[in-house]
Amino acid sequence: MKILLATYWPLPHMGGIWTFVNELKRGLKRFDIDADIFSASPDHTMYYLHHSTDHIKKTSLYPFLDAQFQRGASLINHPVVARAELEQYCFELSAVYTGLKKYDVIHAQDAIASRALSRVKPKKTPLLTSLHGSLSGEILYHIKSFNPEALEHEIKQNLLYHYHRAIEKEAYKNSDMIHTSSQWLMKKVMYDLNGKSNSLSYIPYGFDYQNFSLSSQTSNAGIPEKPKGKKVLLFTGRLVYLKGIHSLMLALAKVKDIRDDWECWIIGDGDQRSACESQVKKLGLTGKIRFLGQQTNVYPYLKLSDMFIFPSLQDNQPFSIIEAQYSGLPVIVSDSAGLPEMVKHEKNGLIFKAGDYRELSMNIMRLLQDNSLLCKLSKNASKYAHAQWNIQAMSKQLFKLYQKLI
């Protein structure tokens, strides 16, 4: 059996899709399944088949596509939408160039790739779509980042929101099967499918922690020393509005007013980084928060940390939380979307209301002052991870899904 794992987004890249396709590709080897990965390149200049010479530069496609767009210019009169359509046609043509007929199943990793591939794949080749988040939800918070005071119903009138919502619905409609890792996302998709669940499959994520820890044992050069007598609070993720990083800063300012026995490490980058750095200075948090940028190896940072904080305004089930739990870190998460499914409150972590920085600050202070609670949550986090995030179980269930589709 030959599978294509395809995404519109660039890979390799820190985040859920890259982790998922790598974990799945390794897991499928147990069933003698050959899986190829197709994505945009990290520099966004081409679409390519990983570990292959098959690729096509976007610049070689633009002249042809621009000419087609000129003929239908009246149909796409919004510059951002026009650009998005251009990029998706590049993705489609590149996928066709690499050859789709050789695959038994095409496994899309996002709604955009699913919609695009449904238009160009061989009719008899089944299309499975794994959803790792809500596309329209991410767009909603992206728009909100420019106008934080805007109400949700106002944002939903925005053309960009409507456009991405339409892509999402089309992807759901054209998929032979949709896989979600959270009950939250499954319910959202089921609503769009008018309650039809026969084309939906709920399969929790799996993670090979042994491989993660062994492959991460490299030089500790450049990794900061743990401050003496202080606990390390860790956040890893994109520095974007969606991740609630601004709420974390406000919460830490409240904590600083009461306690000084901590330091927060921020791993990741994004369009909110400069705003976050300015917020740190404004709140008097200089020296308490370290921005460590993008890191390809987070394992050493996890081992030096005492707790993991993930204040996202909407997220499915981030692998960063799974990595933290396997590393024995209590996780503080918001009650948004699929996050509360990952944490049992006061058993292996703590949950707070999304956006409520005061409640977040209280949860942080609980773990700073109560070592017995910290130790209990730490031990339970590791136990939970080993029981819940089973890579063999995920691979086996997806293998059975492939068989069902064929």
Cα torsion 255, 258, 260, 261: sign: negative
For residues 374 and 330, the answer to whether their CB atoms sit within 8 Å is yes
The full DSSP string for 155-177 is HTTSHHHHHHHHHHHHHHHH-SE
Burial class (CB in 10 A: 0-12, 13-18, 19+), 90: buried
The pLDDT value recorded for residue 80 is: 86
As a whole number of angstroms, the distance between CA 166 and CA 121 comes to 20
160: region left, alpha or beta (phi > 0 left; psi from -120 to 50 alpha): alpha
The two tokens of residue 87 are: 């990029």
As a whole number of angstroms, the distance between CA 333 and CA 226 comes to 23
C-alpha neighbours within 13 Å on the C-beta side of residue 199:
20
Burial class (CB in 10 A: 0-12, 13-18, 19+), 138: middle
Average pLDDT, consecutive stretches of 10 residues, N- to C-terminus, the chain (406 residues): 97 88 94 96 94 89 82 65 90 94 97 97 97 95 92 93 94 95 94 79 93 71 88 96 96 96 96 94 96 91 97 95 97 97 97 97 98 97 96 95 96
Domains along the chain with CATH numbers: 2-206+390-405 (3.40.50.2000), 219-388 (3.40.50.2000)
As a whole number of angstroms, the distance between CA 339 and CA 352 comes to 11
The pLDDT value recorded for residue 83 is: 87
The pLDDT value recorded for residue 195 is: 64
Q: Nearest CA to 285 among 383, 357, 345?
A: 357
| CB proximity list for 61: less than 8 A, separation 6 or greater | 89, 90, 93, 94
Cis peptide before 204 (omega within 30 of 0): no
Question: What pTM does this model have?
Answer: 0.92
The pLDDT value recorded for residue 331 is: 98
The pLDDT value recorded for residue 306 is: 97
Task: Determine the residue type at 37.
Answer: I
The pLDDT value recorded for residue 73 is: 53
Task: Determine the residue type at 58.
Answer: K
Q: Nearest CA to 384 among 328, 338, 333?
A: 328
The pLDDT value recorded for residue 335 is: 97
